Structure 1
Amino acid sequence: MDKGLEKRKKIVMDFVESPMYVPMKAKELALFFNIEKERRTELDEVLKELVLEGRLEISKRGKYKKPEHRYLLGEFMANPKGFGFVRVDDRDSDIFIPSECTANAMNGDTVKVVIDIESGEKRAEGHIIGIEKHANVQIVGYYKKNNTFGFVLPDDAKLLKDIYIPAGRDKGAKTGDKVVVEITDFGDHKKKPEGKVIEVLGKNTDAGVDILSIIRAFGLPENFNDEVENELRKIPSTVLEKDKKGRLDFRDLVTVTIDGEDAKDLDDAITLERNGNIWHLGVHIADVTHYVRENTALDKEALHRATSIYLVDRVIPMLPRKLSNGICSLNQGEDRLALSCMMEIDEKGNIIGHNICESIINVNERMTYNAVNEIITDSNEVTKQRYSDYIELFNNFKLVSELLRGARTKRGSIDFDLPESKVILDKNGKAIDIKPYDRNAATKLIEDFMLAANETVAEDFFWQDLPFIYRVHENPDPEKIKSLAIFINNFGYTLRRKNDEVSPKELQKLLASIEGSDAEGVISRIALRSMKQARYDTSCIGHFGLAARYYTHFTSPIRRYPDLQIHRIIKENIRNGISDKRTEHYRAILDSVALQSSQMERRAEEAERETVKYKKCEYMLSHLGEEFDGIISGVTGFGIFVELENTVEGFIRIADLEGDYFVYNEAGYELVGEITKKKFVLGQKVRVKVYDIDRLAKRIDFKLVKEKDGRRD
């Protein structure tokens, strides 16, 4: 910190805030302070800093005065090109911040922003006047030694400045090491941030350092503290007889779990029976709250984590494995405590009755998605013979799931069936293959049953008017829907809107009309980008994507804290009702629980995406120079993104598009050649060559390939 500058700022502000002050120009202030002409630059620097901090503002006549405007608090989202945006709660769109107006803010910082330009047609523009809270106290990056000092290049491309490391503060790091840096001085517009190395992770090329770097960068927890471990020792490994009392006993029902092959935290099981024309579907969820009591060390740590995180090579669980894989996991052949949602479903897929109760269950068979799909879709004789006792049950599952999905589709529920990536690793953690994740009939039927239970529970507690946490998905921004409507017109499709708003039903019709077409993938992506992000809230404002008036997360308390939280409320209400005192208690804590859960969910998703991106780069290193078919998945003013069939995405710079000068047409999501009028548009099929890979930046570069006839595909 420049102590001289701070002292001069204080002198100026003491004068400005005095009763005798009237707005003055810089020249008048210089005369007042008797500053000679050659020292005016010092005053100009002081005034500039005070304006940036929001402590002064300049009138149209160039006079300095105390600010009359009100600033907004928001999160700064930096762009690698220098500019950024500020996301402010309760605003529909972000505020654009030009590169010269960021006031040295770093990505993720909580900042004070003042809006300079705001009109109904364009995004608001503003400038940052101060930083309320720094988000990047610790940074992971690549260390480079330079004589007596060093510096660190952050892994995060949105952190635009290197971190200066003074002599003796490098912890023995060498050039090429991945390190964790603690920032000791955030610097300013003239001075780079300064820090010290607190951990050397290893060489960038060492096995495991890639994922470890991401874990450190996102501040993901790896171990549970001693207090949690002490509480774990008191938890039994099997269900105690005394804990079974007072519960409905469903152990005589044929019960199965259906999960992925590698899953070990099994928190949902299902049963199904028929009585006349009515189906009785049971969704049985692990009673985690029986073992994770409110305000214990286990509970506090679960809330802190808020979600399990599924990285490419490991799971960072919300709860210790003794619970998540043990007593709380609905393992085959073991008595387990559960919270059950028993639903009655008619022939049209309507849920006409339900009962939510504490129960005890015992799973008959631990099934996998692939095995169930082989039975209900492929009619695989070997698999059917192995599970011959359950064939009728699985076929009934399929029938009921189709009834539920049909009813949901009828009201307008949207299903974005976009491919997800599954990275295959060898025993050393190296990526050896990448495949689209297979979403089959078995995964869909489990989704259908879980959605039904989530909606049923949400509606029940909404009408009881009890404090609760809901999963909400707000209506999309009208401007984004307008852009979507314009875009799909290029493909010959239309989107009916009313006052620039769209119903889930209309989006569902659009997705149905493009199914199987060349445009399906690209239009689905643009439609998905038009949606807002789902989150947790204490107000039941509905779920746009599901076209659901009532929705919550009830079915995964092992890996999501909101589910665990509402289980407490449900059980308390079932047993004795919730007193006024407890109602006030829940109302006091649930807003912060919802916010924490939403924030940690976003962190987990970002970390998961980063590990997949890194492993995709690692995998494609062995394919440098090879050619692949792909489709254009993104178009920008700087070039085009191309996605391969295995879901790997790479970039072709606009400078590498030969034969013309290409101009970006934002409305049409296309690049257009000025002379040839040749276009590169979303969804277009192309053939590319893997040109370059930057694992540090997690970036893959492609080049367009000429076809045999000399034309580009």
Structure 2
Amino acid sequence: MSKIIINHLGFGFINENDKTVFIPKSNTNGARSEDIVEYEIINSEDNIGNITNIVHSKDNYYIVSHIWKKQYVLKNLDTFVKKQIYIDISEFNFVIKDIIRINNKNEIIENLGQYYGIGRYAYLCKKYDINRFIPEEDFELNNIIDDRIDLTNLNVFTIDPTSSKDFDDAISVRKEQDKYILGIHIADVSYFIKPKSQLDMLARQKMNSTYLNGLTIHMLPSKLSNDICSLVPGQKRKTVSLEIEYNLAGELINYKIQRTHIISKKRYTYDQVRKQIDNNNMDSNISLLYNLINILYPNITTAYNLPCVHISLNDLKKATSIELEPYDMAHIMIEKCMIIANEIISNHLNKKNMIFPYRTHPAPSLEKLEKYRQSLNHSNNKMYQEISKIKSYSNAYYAIENDGHYGLDITKYCHFTSPIRRYIDIVIHRILLNEYTYTTEELKEICKLSNEKEVASFKAESELIEINKKELIKESNEELDMLILDVFRTGIKVQIIKYMLEHTIHISNLSKNRLLFDKDNKKLYNSEFDEEIKIGQIIKLGFITK
């Protein structure tokens, strides 16, 4: 069984390990792009095949865009190929799921709603098999009074995006004579959700929250994620606290893990913290955290990070503007606290010989690593080098076998700090607190499903952001700054800086003059007119066409 890809001309291609099988249009036999098929080779010399069976047919989704010659024009949302058809629908800009022929009439299988509204979210959730709904009925929650350490006197605070409602981590920092004490307080979700309960089974099916721009699909009911478990200011909350002692040189002295009660005294947004740092006017919370992180990571303020992208939507969920937020110390301080906690918990469980899900990030292949090293010779542009580094990485995943975390340069790592939005973290809490003993097979299955759901959510989130970006670019008439990422004979690949979007531009759109390709130096040039286009350059173009 293999996946067939069909291009806009109707020709099919099946990529096997050592060859590509060509399927003529007349031999596709009803197969559509990305269907899973069985085939036979009818010409071994030229690798020409014939589809013999469609094992699984991929769903197709269309937007009803306009009428042309008395027929509705449908645009495939995956391939962007348009087709005309007679269908019984009276409105435009609706997302529909496939067309079937019944009694000589075209029938819509399912109308998902307005493309600039619920239809877009429904399409992405169906495409990536994301469960949008979780019952908000009253679930049976654990209300047993337990013995907890009272840390409500600590100056606990949160730092999160402005729009956040599910606060699953909070921080406290204090300095006592010759040491710092860093507290990382995580919502005690596992206290409320018992293994094998109805709520646990629902959370396990979803595995994680999905953050589509304009719509959050929570793993847990909002009663838990936004209220009972969320570490909102001024409310007493149940937490699992990791308190870490460092000497003034930043060396770890001791740590303790305990179930606690805390009260968050203040909620900061990243923007508020950024302004304090930029204006050198930090309050005691931010000042203590800032100083400690700089002791633990001496060169942290010089590191370059790609900016965060924020896209605003109107009431119809259509993109209206984009903002690039620097990934600066406001973000980095919280990121480092979470990394510290995850590493300590992983080492703690490992020393106890516990079997648990590691967060594994394998090293890049030698080929990717060499390609990255060579890319550094092309340009010293920081954005280009960071993008090249990220492209060299393999995907991180969950497994009960430890293979280290290459990207963080950590030998043992797990996810402990986000139990409101990740089921794996709930599992880690249960193992850590001896609440439940998982079998090896159970943990393998949890890791497998979590990896699948994580990839699905990431793809849906990324696709929607890309759609939003392209809509904004299409409506913009401005010239765009573009960072050249790669140069090849037929054109260039660029990063559109304002939109943080990769795009390929054909050589015919780059110059009125004939450009030659220098393969060794990865550049396009015309010596007569003193033109040169090379990696790392920033060019300005007023169009976005291939």
Q: TM-score, normalised by structure 1?
A: 0.66
Identify the residue that residue 602 of structure 1 maps to in structure 2: 455
> Of the candidates 429, 439, 452, which is equivalent to residue 340 of structure 2?
452
Query: Comparing both chains, which one has the higher relative contact order based on Cα–Cα distances under 8 Å and sequence gaps of 6 or more?
Result: 2
> Could you tell me how far apart the structure 2 residues matched to 1:664 and 1:451 are?
45
Counterpart of 1:303 in structure 2: which amino acid?
R
Q: Give the Cα separation in 2 of the matches to 1:130 and 1:548.
A: 49
Report 1:52-201 matches (<5 A). Answer: 97=20, 99-100=22-23, 134=56, 136-137=58-59, 139-142=61-64, 153-157=75-79, 172-173=88-89, 176-181=92-97, 197-201=108-112
Cα pair 1:109 1:135 within 8 Å, conserved: yes
How far is the alpha carbon of 1:177 from its aligned partner? 4.8
Give me the identity figure in percent.
Answer: 25
Q: Deviation at 1:325?
A: 0.2
Change beyond 3 A, Cα 1:212–1:445 = same
SS of the residue aligned with 2:433? Answer: helix
Q: Deviations over 1:357-387 (max 9, x none)?
A: 222211111222222232233235xxx6xxx
Instruction: Report the equivalent of 1:358.
Output: 259
Aligned Cα RMSD in Å? Answer: 3.9
The aligned residue for residue 289 of structure 1 is: 190
Aligned counterpart, 2:210: 309
What SS class does the counterpart of residue 357 from structure 1 fall into? Answer: strand
Where 1:572 maps in the other structure, the secondary structure is: coil
Distance 2:346 2:48 in 1: 40
Equivalent residue, structure 2, for 1:592: 445
1: CA distance, partners of 2:398 / 2:434 = 21
Counterpart CA distance in 2 for 1:252 and 1:600 is: 39
Partner Cα distance (2:273, 2:513) in 1: 53
Q: Structure 1 residues 282, 135: closer, same or farther in 2, change over 3 A?
A: farther
Aligned length: 532
**Is contact 1:98-1:127 (8 Å) kept?**
yes
State the Cα distance separating 1:466 from its structure 2 match.
Answer: 1.4
2:374 equivalent to 1:521: no
What's 2:43 paired with?
none
Flag the structure with higher helix content: 1
Q: Which amino acid is 2:359 matched to? A: R
What's the secondary structure of 1:429's corresponding residue?
coil
What pairs up with 1:699-710 in 2 under 5 angstroms?
700-701=544-545
2:274 maps to which of 362, 369, 373? 373
Residue 434 of structure 2 is aligned to residue 546 of structure 1: no
Maintained 8 Å contact 1:419/1:647: no
**Contact residue 418 and residue 521 of structure 1 kept, 8 A:** yes
The corresponding residue for 2:319 is: 431
Distance 2:318 2:70 in 1: 36
In the alignment, does 2:329 pair up with 1:419? no
CA distance change for structure 1 residues 336 and 108 in 2, over 3 Å: closer, same or farther?
farther
Residue 429 of structure 1 aligns with an amino acid whose one-letter code is: K
Q: Does 1:632 align with 2:484?
A: yes
User: What SS does structure 2 have at the residue aligned with 1:181?
Assistant: strand
1:556 pairs with 2:466:
no
Superposed displacement of residue 450, structure 1: 0.5
Name the structure 1 match of 2:235. 334
CA contact (8 A) 1:84 1:96 kept: no
Equivalent position SS for 1:406: coil
Q: Hey, what's the Cα distance between the residues in 1 that align with 2:124 and 2:162?
A: 26
Residue 362 (structure 2) pairs with residue 481 (structure 1) = no
One-letter amino acid of the counterpart of residue 264, structure 1: K
Note if 1:400 corresponds to 2:301. Answer: no
- For 2:532 and 2:333, locate their aligned partners in 1 and report how far apart those are by CA, in whole Å: 42
Q: Distance in 2 between matches of 1:416 and 1:107?
A: 40
Match of 2:128 among 218, 222, 244: 218
Residues 499-556 of structure 1, C-alpha deviations (whole Å, 9 max, x = no match): xxxxxxxxxxxxxxx4xxxx22112212211111111111111000111001111101
Structure 1: which 5+ runs fail to align? 1-52, 54-72, 88-93, 115-124, 186-193, 385-390, 492-513, 691-699, 703-713
Evaluate the alpha carbon distance shift between residue 490 and residue 149 of structure 1 in structure 2; reply closer, same or farther with a 3 A threshold. closer
The amino acid across from 1:178 in the alignment is F
**Equivalent-residue separation in structure 1 for 2:518 and 2:461 (angstroms):** 32
Residues 159, 170 of structure 2: 8 Å contact kept: yes
Counterpart of 2:149 in structure 1 is: 248
Gapped runs of 5+ residues in structure 2? 41-46
- The amino acid across from 1:136 in the alignment is K
Taking a change above 3 Å as real, the CA distance of residues 107 and 455 of structure 1, as seen in their structure-2 partners, is farther
Equivalents in 1 of 2:161, 2:319: separation in Å?
20
**Structure 2 counterpart of 1:472, one-letter code:** T
Shift of 1:436: 1.0
Larger Rg: 1
C-alpha distance in 1 between matches for 2:242 and 2:411:
19
**Partner Cα distance (1:207, 1:395) in 2:** 43
Q: What is aligned with 1:442?
A: 330
Residue type of the partner of 1:199?
Answer: E
Structure 1 counterpart of 2:181, from 258, 280, 284: 280
TM-score, normalised to structure 2, is: 0.84
- SS of the counterpart of 1:547? coil
Structure having the higher strand fraction is 2
Instruction: Please give the alpha-carbon distance, in whole angstroms, between the structure 2 residues aligned to 1:471 and 1:442.
Output: 24
Q: What is the CA distance between 1:83 and its match in structure 2?
A: 7.7
